[in-house]
Chains A and B, each alone.
Chain A
């Protein structure tokens, strides 16, 4: 999820971290030179200068961290009452386990890839052992991540506190959670569910929060969860609608969901609403037509789609703007001839995940009401890069204690 920090604040923090990291490595190198009774030469002064630079960046970065917006105080208080209480050790422990999982996953990917591409240049035993080793690390990383990620997920209150922006309220039928929990394979070795991809896209506008399914043992990954009592959930939802920047409905079956939509239509400005229709339009088209002053007539405009079939936003007077994932037959003119065939073949081959296709229509629908952000669609499929990036960062971070142990003569 994107932090609510400004771009300069994020840049300052990132620069501070990188400079401090390099300064620490250089300090260890200088320490090793000293220990080996070698002439410090330039290594000492270089380490000193990098340490000064790190200090210069760390101070403003810490100040900027403290100056995060506090406008979400009411929201945090409202949601925090419904956050599941957990022992203090639990999240840090599973975050650490997740870190190990990311490191194993990234290292396994790298080793298996190297074994496949360059194995023939290595000694036979190395070649034979490297591939199973890489695959074992990859599998272990995957299993650790599957176990630790739901256990270290931020709850809604923490997500709001960490971000600072007004949230995106994601409302859906609990019955839809199963389809949203599926992991698509458009990116190889993807571990992120559709809902995580959706939350990543909506994270461009604010931290994404959702009511957790009552009784679920672990939160589903994606939107940050809070759990409302079954007999008294409506006032909280109404207040959250007021305080949210965007209200996203994934339409489906369920009286509660349609009550929420009725309330949103009655009390919220039209431009705050984004409706996502499910894969089977027949389930919702009629119900939606009954409720809106200008019926969107989905069945005439869209076909059933994968996971999400269309995104709808509203202009003044609740005039709907429908962006279908798959236009209904007859609404677009198919190209004929060689170009048409090539286009259809490419479309058939295109590696667009259902979440990415949903992101494209969401972006178009939101642009219609003037809500725009850059790189919204790209966020949908960035999960694999994020996973490998996190793994690489953990490995880079582990290099520091390793070198420190070398300096101490332990390793």
Chain B
């Protein structure tokens, strides 16, 4: 559980060709930015919804204004689950593809022994319950550590990324609940939903920006040595 492993034979890793991670890094960066943009849209939509409801109850907005909140382009973009799924899944696949290549490159310079987790967990750790709370962090921080030109390299960036990503994972189901129609009966409920979604967007923004910085930095380190 807490120990290192040496599952990948040296012979096999040594034979693998180093490839620049720049291409997958660019794709992952763009898709992560799209995910973040969608999160900002959701927050903006929730606040707009709150202000219209507030005005409506104060007699300053009409029924048409209320209907317009749920039918505009912003609402469509923010509430489309298929869009959320498509962009999120694409960003996830692109990130893991980049991480895989970065890990292979890192192993070729530092050896498999420098990594706490075997290579299979680069993919599987994101989907396996319970261990997905710390394995991905170990994998990314090991790639970060072994790719850095000067060692030891501080891990603060990776730690803050992971903390904000985990917190976002904890807040997200709460936000789903506050956003459900069953829970939104009063103006206060709409305000709570807007606040929670802002918190979630903030966490995603921190995690997203930091992972982009991590991707770019590791890619730059590895590109110099490929």
- Contact flags (1/0) for B4-38 with A, using CB distance below 8 Å? 11111111100000000000000000000000000
Q: Which residues of A contact B11 (CB under 8 A)?
A: 303-305, 326
Q: Which residues of B contact A307 (CB under 8 A)?
A: 6
Q: Which residues of B contact A134 (CB under 8 A)?
A: 130
Which residues of chain A in 140-182 are interfacial with respect to chain B, using CB atoms and an 8 Å cutoff?
142, 182
Report the Cα distance A383→B220, complex, angstroms.
41
Contact assessment for B170 and A128 in the assembled complex, using a CB-CB cutoff below 8 Å = yes
Q: Which residues of B contact A389 (CB under 8 A)?
A: none
Q: Which of B2, B118, B170 has the most CB of A within 10 A?
A: B118
Report the Cα distance A352→B9, complex, angstroms.
11
Selected interface stretch from A89-97, A113-121, A205-213, A218-226:
A113-121
Contact assessment for B9 and A304 in the assembled complex, using a CB-CB cutoff below 8 Å = yes
Q: Which residues of B contact A113 (CB under 8 A)?
A: 129-130
Contact assessment for A124 and B130 in the assembled complex, using a CB-CB cutoff below 8 Å = no
B123 within 8 A of A: yes
Shortest CB distance B190–A (Å): 17
Q: Which residues of A contact B6 (CB under 8 A)?
A: 182, 184, 306-307, 354
Which residues of chain B in 98-125 are interfacial with respect to chain A, using CB atoms and an 8 Å cutoff?
116-121, 123-124
Report the Cα distance A326→B2, complex, angstroms.
27
Interchain CB contact (< 8 A) of B118 among A128, A135, A186, A347: A186
Report the Cα distance A354→B124, complex, angstroms.
18
A234 within 8 A of B: no
Contact assessment for B129 and A354 in the assembled complex, using a CB-CB cutoff below 8 Å = no
Closest to A189 in B: B1
Which residues of chain A in 73-101 are interfacial with respect to chain B, using CB atoms and an 8 Å cutoff?
none
A351 within 8 A of B: yes
Q: Which residues of A contact B123 (CB under 8 A)?
A: 349
Contact assessment for B12 and A350 in the assembled complex, using a CB-CB cutoff below 8 Å = no
B133 within 8 A of A: yes
A109 within 8 A of B: yes
Shortest CB distance B59–A (Å): 33
Report the Cα distance A230→B89, complex, angstroms.
62
Contact assessment for B174 and A116 in the assembled complex, using a CB-CB cutoff below 8 Å = no
Q: Which residues of B contact A186 (CB under 8 A)?
A: 7, 118, 120
Contact assessment for B173 and A127 in the assembled complex, using a CB-CB cutoff below 8 Å = yes
Q: Which residues of B contact A109 (CB under 8 A)?
A: 130
Which residues of chain A in 329-368 are interfacial with respect to chain B, using CB atoms and an 8 Å cutoff?
347-354
Q: Which residues of A contact B10 (CB under 8 A)?
A: 304
Given A185-B118, A186-B118, A188-B128, A354:B7 Cβ within 8 A: yes
Q: Which residues of A contact B5 (CB under 8 A)?
A: 182-185
Other CB < 8 Å A-B pairs besides A116-B130, A326-B11, 12 of them?
A: A112-B133, A131-B170, A182-B3, A184-B6, A185-B121, A189-B130, A189-B131, A306-B9, A325-B9, A348-B12, A348-B119, A351-B120
What are 11 A-B pairs at a CB distance below 8 A?
A: A109-B130, A112-B129, A112-B130, A116-B130, A120-B173, A124-B177, A131-B170, A183-B2, A184-B7, A185-B116, A304-B9
